[in-house]
């Protein structure tokens, strides 16, 4: 054997197997890791509010109060608005597909899609849908409690994480994490506020234009507006289709309504709320949304921008670290 050749040692094989096993476990536990990531992002979003309450009460009490405040709108929505949405949705879908079937350039498979027949043929899958809904509810509750514990145990968890690094780097890493948390928190809070503004603005506009199903269409637009880049366009499509079914002029007015709101959001609302918190290029934003959506669907697209905005912060720390240890 050549003296420059080194046979694969048992230690090297052990490291390879260990890394492969770690990757396999992480892949199998991807859902859990995603839930942990979501809970961490939500925790960073509400922590500044919890900290302001913490000046007057215990951390557990302040976290509880803040989470209850966030639950109140969801509870009111579920009690007053959701029943009407559930009641209106079948008629809305039938009307929507009735309009779609009249559009000549669409494929026949889309035009002839029967919503009522689809649901009647798939009632046998009701158990699967129920199981999926219960699974989603369980994941939501899990994320809620993880968020709560991340907030109340913030200092101890941060201390455990910082103990993994050399003492002379802990202050720098703590500052980097604080900056990342500010970016993520401002994005989550701001995006929720913008979504509510979008819903109210579109709802009022559709009411004034006498477009039917104004509330579900506005909620749909507001929820889709949470998605960066493409959400506002996709959210406007159903309302525009309904409006053109009424009259061409109504359709043009609804297009104008959505275009005006998007200009208002991009030029006034978003800059005022985010205040340059997400200072990343359009190309990086688009790439982050595509990758996040491809890997984790709608939720991944929603979380892509704050994570992408965190990358420059971490790269800056790595650059400073390499210079300090050059």
Domain assignment present for residue 224? The answer is no
Domain assignment present for residue 261? The answer is no
- Domain of 156 in residue numbering reads as 30-164
Domain assignment present for residue 89? The answer is yes
Domain assignment present for residue 183? The answer is no
Residue carrying structure tokens 């998605």: 227
Of the pLDDT bands very low, low, confident and very high (cuts 50, 70, 90), residue 261 is very high
pLDDT of 232 strictly over 80: yes
Alpha carbon distance 67, 75 (integer Å): 12
Cα–Cα distances (Å) from 71 to 58, 144, 179, in that order, read: 20, 10, 27
Domain assignment present for residue 37? The answer is yes
Specify the pLDDT at position 141: 86
The whole-model pTM stands at: 0.74
Domain assignment present for residue 304? The answer is no
Number of domains the chain contains: 1
Domain assignment present for residue 57? The answer is yes
pLDDT of 35 strictly over 90: no
Tens digits of residue pLDDT in 289-326: 778 777 777 777 777 777 777 877 888 888 887 877 76
Domain assignment present for residue 206? The answer is no
């Amino acid at each position: 054997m050549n003296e420059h050749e080194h046979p694969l040692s048992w230690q090297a094989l052990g490291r390879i197997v260990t890394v492969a096993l770690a990757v396999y476990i992480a892949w199998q536990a991807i859902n859990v890791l995603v839930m942990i990531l979501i809970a961490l992002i939500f925790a960073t979003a509400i922590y500044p509010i919890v900290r302001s309450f913490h000046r007057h009460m215990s951390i557990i009490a302040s976290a509880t109060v803040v989470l209850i405040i966030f639950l109140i709108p969801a509870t009111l929505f579920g009690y007053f608005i959701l029943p009407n949405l559930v009641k209106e949705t079948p008629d809305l879908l039938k009307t929507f597909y009735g309009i779609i079937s009249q559009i000549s350039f669409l494929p026949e498979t889309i035009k002839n899609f029967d919503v009522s027949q689809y649901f009647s043929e798939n009632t046998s899958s009701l158990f699967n849908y129920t199981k999926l809904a219960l699974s989603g509810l369980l994941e939501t509750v899990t994320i809620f409690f993880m968020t709560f514990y991340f907030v109340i145990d913030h200092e101890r968890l941060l201390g455990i994480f910082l103990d993994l690094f050399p003492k002379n780097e802990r202050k720098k890493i703590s500052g980097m994490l604080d900056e990342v948390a500010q970016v993520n928190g401002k994005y989550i809070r701001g995006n929720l506020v913008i979504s509510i503004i979008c819903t109210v603005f579109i709802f009022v506009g559709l009411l004034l234009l006498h477009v039917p199903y104004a509330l579900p269409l506005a909620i749909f637009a507001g929820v889709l507006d949470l998605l960066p880049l493409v959400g506002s366009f996709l959210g406007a499509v159903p309302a525009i289709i309904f409006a053109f079914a009424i009259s061409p002029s109504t359709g043009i007015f609804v297009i104008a309504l959505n275009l005006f709101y998007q200009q208002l959001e991009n030029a006034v609302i978003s800059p005022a709320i985010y205040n340059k918190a997400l200072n990343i290029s359009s190309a990086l934003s688009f790439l982050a949304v595509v990758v996040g959506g491809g890997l984790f669907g709608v939720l991944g697209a929603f979380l892509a921008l704050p994570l992408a905005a965190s990358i420059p912060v971490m790269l800056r720390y790595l650059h400073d670290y390499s210079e300090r240890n050059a």
